[in-house]
Amino acid sequence: MPNRAAAPDAALDAHLDATKADRLESYKAFLRIPSISAIPAHADDCNAAARWLAGALDAAGLEHVDVAETGGHPVVYADWLHAPDAPTVIVYGHYDVQPVDPLELWTSTPFEPIVVGERILARGAADDKGQIHAHLMAAAGLLATRGAMPVNVRYVFEGEEESSSVHLDRWLDGNRDRLAADVAIISDSGFFEGNLPAITVSLRGIMYAQIDVVGTAVDLHSGGFGGAVQNPANALAQIIAGLKGPDGRIRIPGFYDAVVALSDDDHAALAALPFDEAEYLQRLGLPALVGETGFTTLERRAIRPTLDVNGIWSGFTGEGSKTIIPAHAHAKVSCRLVADQDPDRIFEAFRSYVEEIAPPGVTSTVRYLGGGHPSLTSVDHPATRAAARALEATFGRAPLYIREGGSIPVCASFSSLLGLPVVLLGITPPDDNAHAPNEWMDLANYETGIRTFARMFDELVDLPRT
């Protein structure tokens, strides 16, 4: 018989209350490791974070703990498989974090976590170490108080989510034996505006590329050569400007071909979300919101594909003036994708179009830095329903169902590669500054989230097994 607790779980609550101070120290220790996956110089730190996590999983009482080689940063695996009659749940999160620049905009040191009121500030506090840590504490609490988990659980914590999960698919494909499961719970999403509990039912995919425009071998004097040669930086600006029309539509031929049109009900559900556009604009501090003609702000940021420059650089960027024609110019450009756009096909269309519109007199090339598929799940799936019950039981209100603008490529990996239903259950506040300076986590979300994750296992006991 499954080890299912009556709700609320008083023993778990008492245990969590008693261990709160130690838990915060453990959370901080995890946050101190600067596991920035996109920067090669931080490879050792990523390994250190993986080893720290493996130690914590072992200490929680989980089994088969493994820091698994992937060819890139390791996957940390652990399981608990002693509920033969219950379903098996994969829990996914990532221990790597975004880079921290611009460092001067942080009010604290990114990898020295501090608590200010109900907030803990550090890179990764929310995305995604905070969520991993809450899962760790849920498992430790259940095993400490019940000596068992209500379902079988396999933990898969990746170290390359912030750098396009380049090695994960191959690892998943090569480890199907230890990934047999009935559902995947992905905890890398968050709550809705106003910190309202939410389950994400769709995610955008991503295509990330770099455009390199090369002119001469060295910078030229802009007086001696200006007017006679193409300027790589001007050419790059022309390419980027050519990618979008004044209506915000992306001009790449075929770009929208695979976009699944939303039903009237989908549009209505989006329109029904509590969203104060004036407050949103004020919080961003912008003069206006700008996007694709014919769509609302919620639609633009969630169900429409995008094209954004993530970085651009060329020539002299120091103080003062330098009169050169830069030898080369570069931009990182990414598109957020929606179902059923394919990142590889979008990259090819992007490359072709950049080559078509690239001005003469310089050499423009495009290279692929990574991609991930968009994903859609169903509100009616029993696993989504179980997650909703867990949120309502612990946070005290039924979740909203939202469509998230971000990308978690691994969703597509779990659904298409392993054939699993995927539920996105995350507990971070919506304004957590993930990917920006001063990232923070709401400690009330974190504490209640531990209970949510534990309760979710209870709610999944009756999940139909595949």
Residue 83, helix vs strand vs coil: coil
Which span (110-118, 305-313, 346-354, 385-393) binds a copy of itself, by CB under 8 A? 305-313
Smallest CA-to-CA distance from 394 within 460, 463, 461, 445 is with: 445
Compute the distance between CA of residue 343 and CA of residue 18 in angstroms, rounded to an integer.
48
- Of 325, 387, 411, 450, the one binding a copy of itself (CB under 8 A) is 325
357 binds a copy of itself (CB under 8 A): no
Interacting span for a copy of itself (CB under 8 A) from 22-30, 114-122, 133-141, 216-224: 216-224
Closest by Cα among 133, 74, 128, 179 to 424: 128
Applying CB under 8 A, the span of 11-19, 141-149, 211-219, 383-391 interacting with a copy of itself comes to 211-219
Residues 75-114 within binding reach of a copy of itself (CB under 8 A): 98-99, 101-102, 105
Does the protein bind a copy of itself through residue 202 (CB under 8 A)? no
The angle at the Cα of 150, spanning 148 to 151, to the nearest 5 degrees, equals 110
- Sign of the Cα pseudo-torsion (334, 336, 341, 343, in order): positive
Q: Please report whether residue 273 would count as binding a copy of itself according to CB under 8 A.
A: no
Among 293, 323, 416, 466, binds a copy of itself (CB under 8 A): 323
Stretch that binds a copy of itself, among 2-10, 19-27, 134-142, 221-229 (CB under 8 A): 221-229
Of 13 and 169, the one with the shorter C-beta distance to a copy of itself is 169
Q: For residue 70, state whether it binds a copy of itself (rule: CB under 8 A).
A: no
Nearer to a copy of itself, 310 or 378 (CB): 310
Question: Among 212, 205, 165, 204, which residue's Cα sits nearest to residue 332?
Answer: 212
For the beta carbon of residue 319, count every other beta carbon within 10 angstroms: 6
Question: CA distances (Å), 324 to each of 212, 224, 235, 252, 276, in order?
Answer: 18, 9, 15, 32, 47
Kindly state the smallest distance separating residue 351's Cβ from a copy of itself, in Å.
16
243-262 residues near a copy of itself, rule: CB under 8 A: 244
Return the residues of window 412-441 that contact a copy of itself according to CB under 8 A.
430, 433-438
Distance separating alpha carbons of residues 189 and 425, to the nearest angstrom: 7
Task: From 194-202, 233-241, 412-420, 440-448, give the range in contact with a copy of itself by CB under 8 A.
Answer: 233-241
Q: How far is the CB of 407 from a copy of itself (least distance, A)?
A: 5
Of residues 80 and 401, the one with the C-beta less far from a copy of itself: 401
Is 329 an interacting residue with respect to a copy of itself (CB under 8 A)?
yes
H/E stretch holding 375 reads strand 375-376
Kindly state the smallest distance separating residue 192's Cβ from a copy of itself, in Å.
11
265 binds a copy of itself (CB under 8 A): no
Q: Does 293 bind a copy of itself (CB under 8 A)?
A: no
**From 215, 382, 409, 429, residue interacting with a copy of itself (rule: CB under 8 A):** 215
Residue count, binding to a copy of itself (CB under 8 A): 101
Minimum gap (Å) between residue 46 Cβ and a copy of itself: 12
Among 324, 346, 390, 443, binds a copy of itself (CB under 8 A): 324
Tell me which of 58, 256, 311, 340 binds a copy of itself, using CB under 8 A.
311
61: left (phi over 0), alpha (psi -120 to 50) or beta: left
Single residue of 43, 144, 148, 237 touching a copy of itself by CB under 8 A? 237
Closest CA to 25 of 119, 141, 114: 114
Cα separations in angstroms, 136 against 30, 92, 323, 391, 416: 12, 12, 56, 18, 27
Q: How far is the CB of 109 from a copy of itself (least distance, A)?
A: 16
Is 451 one of the binding residues for a copy of itself (CB under 8 A)? no
274 interacts with a copy of itself by CB under 8 A = no
Angle at 271 between CA 266 and CA 277, to 5 degrees: 145
Of 332-351, binders to a copy of itself (CB under 8 A) are 332, 334, 336
Residues catalogued as catalytic: 96, 161
- 11-40 residues near a copy of itself, rule: CB under 8 A: 38-40
Which one of the spans 62-70, 142-150, 209-217, 419-427 is the region binding a copy of itself (CB under 8 A)? 209-217
H or E element in which residue 390 lies? helix 382-395
Name the DSSP letter for residue 416: I
Residues 110-169 that bind a copy of itself (CB under 8 A): 162-164
Choose the binding region for a copy of itself from 1-9, 112-120, 169-177, 286-294 (rule: CB under 8 A): 286-294
Residue among 64, 225, 247 nearest 154 (CA) = 64
CB-count burial class (<10 Å; 0-12, 13-18, 19+) for 349: buried
Question: Binding of a copy of itself at residue 360 (CB under 8 A)?
Answer: yes
State which residue, 233 or 463, has the beta carbon closest to a copy of itself: 233
Residues 6+ positions from 37 with CB-CB distance below 8 Å: 46, 72, 73, 96, 97, 159, 160, 161, 162, 163
Q: At what angle do helices 10-18 and 129-146 cross, to 10 degrees?
A: 120
Going by C-alpha positions, the residue among 272, 253, 258 that lies closest to residue 192 is 272
